[in-house]
Amino acid sequence: MSAKRRGDEPKGDGVTGFPFDASRTGSWKISLPCSKAEAERISEGDLPEIDALDPQPTLMTSEPDPDQPEAWQLDAYVEDEPSKALIAIIAALAPSTKKKPVVTHIPEDDWVTMSQAGLEPIRAGRFFVHTPHNADAAPKGMTGFVIDAGRAFGTGHHETTTGCLEMLDRLRVAGRRFDDIVDVGTGTGLLAFAARALWPAAKVIASDIDPVSIEVTAENAEVNGVPMGRGRGQVELGVAPGLSDRRLRDRAPYDLLIANILAGPLIELAPVFADAVLPGGTVVLAGLLDTQADAVANAYRREGLYLTDSILRGDWRILRMAKRRR
């Protein structure tokens, strides 16, 4: 994905915004400190001041020092040199800080290096995920995926993605079997690829609101030898918010639905997701802060689902819920 729109997976420690391809154009970055509360508001995505912008910047929040849990940082990425008005809008997202925003230019040649730098391979359950710049072979007994960060955030290093990989692995270890799987807000395609690896006889479809994300997913599928198509053992791709595409609706009901987006859209889509899952089916929800977990879980309880498992990764909670059998 090229940093995704709000409503999809958070990147970095939390990212929201419209996509841009910095590997092609270079970019500009606006950086300033922010509080944890401000970072949480940004991650929740209810930002009318940003919605009014065209194009929208990509916002990333991160926790630079775990020993200072209240001290976070906001980075805003834009394609063109930012105006004073845009800098002021970004600064207003973090009213707690007294420091002026720092504006830096990221040349085209530096972007891929920056995006790949420091991204060590990750292990999550049986999965080993790395970038092309760190092409270590997967250890024996692990399933490896190469995910290029050059055009995208979302290589698997964010706690929500790592937690989802661990949750999927738990399901497989528990002996669960799935035949029809959907990955909503797929980003780079990693979770769809992982689901296919765990249940190779299943039919998998992956969607994202961002067309660039689907382009990147197709590229990643080719790199990782994941076959595309509608048959068993294949992954089909589609561009859609939620499950609005006809192909996604036609393939329902699913026995496994994965949605790594954000708390607001997860709550809003609870009735749609619940209707799209078979009785007894499983829903994996991510992209929500631990402080938002109760609200998200309650929205799905109202639709006839119940909580069966959860994973906490940093400040982020991954929920596994099951639909009650009739």
**pLDDT tens column, 185-232:** 998 899 999 999 999 999 999 999 888 889 989 999 999 999 999 999
pLDDT given at position 149: 58
Q: Does domain 122-323 have CATH number 3.40.50.150?
A: yes
Is the confidence at residue 6, as pLDDT, over 80? Answer: no
Enumerate residues 6+ apart whose C-beta is below 8 A from 103.
28, 29, 30, 31, 82, 87
Task: For 68-97, give one letter per residue: b (16+ CB within 10 A) or e.
Answer: eeeebbbbbbbbeebeeebbebbbebbeeb
Q: Domain 27-106 class?
A: alpha beta
Region 131-143: mean pLDDT is 74
Residues in binding site for S-adenosyl-L-methionine: 161, 185, 208, 260
Handedness of CA 8, 9, 15, 19 (dihedral sign): negative
Beta pairing partners, 280: none
pLDDT given at position 150: 52
Enumerate residues 6+ apart whose C-beta is below 8 A from 135.
146
Domain map of the chain by residue range? 27-106, 122-323
Using DSSP's 3-state secondary structure scheme, residue 224 falls into coil
At 34-62, the pLDDT tens digits run 999 998 888 777 788 988 888 888 888 88
Considering only the C-alpha atoms of the chain, give the largest distance between any 2 of them, rounded to a whole number of Å. 58
Q: Token digits for 228?
A: 């595309």
- Higher pLDDT: 38 or 2? It is 38
Residue 119 pLDDT grade (very low, low, confident, very high; cuts 50, 70, 90): low
- Please state whether beta strands 58-62 and 15-16 pair in parallel, antiparallel, or not at all (unpaired): antiparallel
pLDDT given at position 58: 80
Residues in binding site: 161, 185, 208, 260
- Higher pLDDT: 3 or 73? It is 73
CA gap 147, 116 in Å, rounded: 10
pLDDT given at position 12: 34
Q: Which residue has the tokens 């990782």?
A: 224
At 303-326, the pLDDT tens digits run 999 999 999 988 889 999 999 987
* 321 touches 311 (CB < 8 A): no
